[in-house]
Amino acid sequence: MARSSALTQKEKDFISAGRVAHLATTDARGRPLVVPICYAFHGIDLYSSIDEKPKKVSPLLLERIRNIRENPYVSIVVDRYEEDWSRLAYVLIRGRARILTSGTRHKKAVVLLQRKYPQYREMAIDKRPIIHITLDRAKSWGVL
Amino acid sequence: MARSSALTQKEKDFISAGRVAHLATTDARGRPLVVPICYAFHGIDLYSSIDEKPKKVSPLLLERIRNIRENPYVSIVVDRYEEDWSRLAYVLIRGRARILTSGTRHKKAVVLLQRKYPQYREMAIDKRPIIHITLDRAKSWGVL
């Protein structure tokens, strides 16, 4: 395990290049939830928009947000799967999350997400909550 | 959310066809961990071998196993990411896990894993622990 500040450039590049990551949150009873997420990576921060359907449900009620409000500890993995298992790679991150609904950092996250994902440029993610994750530590495998 | 027994055939096929899933476990303090896994799916059961390096560490000490011994509740997602977001799909599973180290079910899991992954046929996964997950409930998106 390495401090996030000790992430190698290769690890940073691997995280930045990933298109989908997987986020685990846990509720107050200790029940985990894992979901695929799109994300932007900047410094030691990751940002992910709550953009999912169903639109009928307030996004603040989404389970991952409820979990983060109950328990800020999260785990994220960015990985590469190939049938040639000598090519398997991952960066596994532990950190703490909070929910942004407005403000300077929320605006910055929207810019980063829309820069990385053209798909977001058509979506009103500036009106939606964003999960902000600060890295505490990370480890990697096969990121060479 | 649907009972696992109510999984549609499409959902079962989607889970069976997946090559990599993501497993979240949580320790006794409520800290989640997410890792990519290879798995075999049969009935309402998922099996995953503990085959990772470093070989210097007893696989029983691996963090996911420690977590499962402390807290059996797990979450697994099998998903498809594409840049055309109308094609995004997932099946999200909640269940309980236990560790198998020998016995009839362990043997059966080895057969299922080696049938699905040629890569395992060269590996002594019959000597390694297997995580056995029983589905409690599942929900899906885009699995049509």
What is the per-residue pLDDT for A47? 98
Q: Which residues of B touch A97 (CB under 8 A)?
A: none
**Cα(A12)–Cα(A79) distance, rounded to whole angstroms?**
13
Torsion of CA B1, B5, B10, B11, to 10 degrees: 50
* Interface of chain B toward chain A, CB-CB under 8 angstroms: 19-20, 22-26, 28, 30-36, 53, 71, 73-77, 79, 81, 83, 85, 88, 90, 92, 94, 119, 141
- Identify all chain B residues contacting A94, using CB atoms and an 8 Å cutoff: 31, 33
Yes or no: say if A11 and A138 are a contact pair by the CB < 8 Å rule: yes
d(CA A82, CA A85): 6
User: What pLDDT is stored for residue A72 in this prediction?
Assistant: 98
The per-residue pLDDT for range A68-89, each reduced to its tens digit, is 999 999 999 999 999 999 999 9
CATH number at residue A105: 2.30.110.10
Q: What is the ipTM of this complex?
A: 0.92
- Domain tally, chain A: 1
Give the other-Cβ count within 10 Å of B36's Cβ. 19
- Please state, rounded to an integer, the average pLDDT across all residues of chain A: 91
Contacting residues of A for B39, CB less than 8 Å apart: none
What's the pLDDT score for residue A144? 78
The percent of residues above 90 in pLDDT, for chain B, comes to 83
What pLDDT does A62 receive? 85
pLDDT of residue B4: 46
- CB-based contacts of A101, cutoff 8 Å, min separation 6: A129, A130
pLDDT tens for each residue of A90-135: 999 999 999 999 999 999 999 999 999 999 999 999 999 999 999 9
Give the range of the structural domain holding residue B80, as residue numbers without chain letter: 2-141
Give how far A116 is from chain B: nearest CA, Å. 12
Residue pairs between chains A and B whose CB atoms are closer than 8 Å = 94
Query: pLDDT at residue B57 above 70?
Result: no
